[in-house]
Chain A
Amino acid sequence: MKLATLFLFSTIRLATPLLLAALGGLYSERAGVINIALEGLMLAGAFTAAVVTHAAHSPWAGLLAGIAAGIAIALVHALAAIRFKANQVVSGTAINLLFAGLPPLLSGALFRSAGATPQIPRGELLPLAPIVIAFLLVPLTWYVLYRTPFGLRLRAVGENPEAADTAGIAVARMRYVAVGLSGALAAVGGAYLSIGQSSLFTRNMTAGRGFIALAALIFGKWRPVETMLACLLFGFAEALSIQMQGVARLPVQFIQIIPYVLTIVVLAGFIGHSRAPSALGVPYQEKR
């Protein structure tokens, strides 16, 4: 079936940015730092990647710049959350707001546009690499998390920082690394939107995907494989709503809300229970 293949590919393509951001969120949250800034981090990656690709005529340079921006911004969140013990939801909200505003402000000045970057020629767009990377990252993340000392420390820091500290793990450093990783991955997800799926950055182009990624992370119970399945499900919902636009009688709004409703249902424990890492959101003061 040709249509089925197309639909499958469309699902995978749409799930990719979600998966990258959700895996990013997974590192941060398993280490105990809430990351509702995924939306802002994706926007930071998407915008930086588009601008640098436009300037350097290389999507790889764009991707790297996007990653660098993602890490830098994530570290601002980490600094606020870890060093200054800021409320992590608040600082995440601030970053989301910042990247609702900063990209259009800068592109208005750089390109005299109302928030968009110039069109990038087709030949200078990212190939399908991010899709491959995203799905390879799932087993890799599983392996890192459950089979390496780094993963054990990461989880320890997120579940019981006191014990981790006593065992000689540098809690703050682990958390910085984890939040930095989340910035890098969310930025790749954003870059894939602007210089992969599309060919320019537009104002608020993530359109809530950072929050859907967060939903997928919770729906996937903070575990890599389950999170991937959730992303595929939400990607499928999006593919379906695009396919049905103007065709079916069922309003698209009903399909659009599926990820959100499912997350609430799972979080409330109606279908299985999703348990957050114990120390998620709790600042920790190292005892030294």
Chain B
Amino acid sequence: MSDNEGPAAAPPPPPSSPPPPPRSRLAGGWRAVASPLAAVLAAFVVGGIVVVAIGDDPIETYKLLLGSALSWPDGIGYTLFYATPLIFTGLAVAVAFRCGLFNIGAEGQLYIAAFATAWTGITFAGLSPWLLAPLACLAAVGSGAAWGALPGVLKARFGAHEVITTIMLNFVAVAMASYLTQYHFRKEGDPILETVPIGAGAHVARLGHFLPGFPERIPLNLSFFAALAACVLVYAFLWRTRWGYEIRATGESPLAAQYGGISTGRQIVLAMAVSGGLAGMVAINEVMGYRYRYYDGFSTGYGFTGIAVALLGRNHPVGVVLSALLFGVLLRGGLFVEIFTEHVSKDLVLVLEAVIILFVAAEALFRGGGLGLPRGQKARPGTPGTTL
């Protein structure tokens, strides 16, 4: 990856997407944080109303949610474990967004990757860990990237809109992985739809293995650090390389990018491949670090939650980490809310997630005057004006 060079690499805009009207950088930074915060607060208020409506105490419910998610070591351990796949999928969706693409297919990409990773771990189980673990990681990234590139090619070459093709490919991916598991890789007589275990060489160590006092039953593993590293790499890729610049230019204005000599078709395929590869890294956490096998239906919608994570994080790696942590808290706390409240189930988390997305999407709500109309027709940077 080369540094910025050539005429295409004009001074890059500041990392936090600047709002359309010109403002000081500080004000822009504040605005970048203010409206996601407002969306989260609004979601908690709406969620609280729902909790009251079904007959529980919202304050107690939220206390329980946060308390169970932030206790040491179990709460924090599990929160970070749940945040790990969301960092990957959030980054995946964000990279695509930056190119003006809406990758709803992270779910399918991570399913394909999980199966490919398990397949690698099973087929080459005899290899030494020094070979097998990198090979399995490569399978995760490579297969996710390939499955992600497919809708990219369909769009760049044939004009098929990625929103529809990625939705459709999700179903295809899940069916394919389930077919392969059921008919070819299932342990005989196993009532659960899962593959045989992967070789021990493909295991990613849990944190309890290194950290004294941190119990090894908590599945938080080294993938969490891989996720953080992925954030740094994505940042460097998008804002410090020529390819990243071209991806962002394609996202901001495809016509201008084309006029400036950028092959937008190639950038679309590249962005989708990177996006799919990031989604595929979920397999490192799930297959290599947690279950040690492919397990049918393992994802609780990580790909879709990734959309919320990216939107709330304003498609920036730092924002993605912060919002993935928030959703990690919700996922962990949701389980306890389900057990320890009278009526509320963990489905509350889905409601909170949905309301957050809705408020982030209808951002104009929080803009000056509340009901004021947004200025002009220009799409907000980072969120493509999706046209089919």
Contacts and interface: CB of A to CB of B under 8 A. Distances in A.
Contacts of B308: 97
B353 interface: yes
Given A91-B362, A101-B354, A283-B377, A260 B169 contact: yes
A253 B179 contact: yes
Interface in B330-388: 343-345, 347-351, 353-355, 357-358, 360-365, 373-374, 377, 383-388
B364 A105 contact: no
Contacts of A85: 364, 374
B55 interface: yes
A253 B102 contact: no
Contact of B54 (A93, A105, A270): A105
A86 B168 contact: no
Nearest to B360: A90
Secondary structure at chain A's binding surface: helix, strand, loop or mixed? helix
Contacts of A283: 377, 385
A218 interface: yes
A133 interface: no
Interface string A240-273: 0000000000010110110011011001111000
A281 B343 CA distance: 39
Q: Interface extent on B, as a size class?
A: 35 or more
A261 B387 contact: no
A260 B171 contact: yes
B182 interface: yes
B349 to A, nearest CB: 7
Contact of B361 (A87, A98, A256, A270): A87
A89 B104 contact: yes
A104 B344 CA distance: 10
A253 B175 contact: yes
A108 B347 contact: yes
Given A90-B357, A98-B350, A218-B164, A104 B345 contact: yes
A8 interface: no
A97 B304 contact: yes
Contacts, number: 175
Interface string A79-102: 110001111111101111110111
Given A84-B362, A86-B363, A253-B178, A106 B54 contact: yes
Nearest to A284: B377
Contacts of B176: 253, 257
B158 interface: yes
A214 B344 contact: no
Given A97-B353, A98-B350, A256 B160 contact: no
Contact of B383 (A36, A87, A101, A253): A87
B183 interface: yes
Given A256-B171, A267-B160, 13 more contacts: A76-B358, A80-B358, A84-B362, A84-B374, A94-B361, A97-B350, A97-B353, A102-B351, A257-B171, A267-B165, A269-B159, A280-B387, A283-B377
Q: Which 7 A-B pairs have the closest CB atoms?
A: A101-B350, A109-B54, A98-B354, A84-B362, A94-B357, A86-B361, A268-B158
Interface of B: 50, 54-55, 102, 104, 154, 158-161, 163-165, 167-169, 171-172, 175-176, 178-179, 182-183, 301, 304, 307-308, 311, 343-345, 347-351, 353-355, 357-358, 360-365, 373-374, 377, 383-388
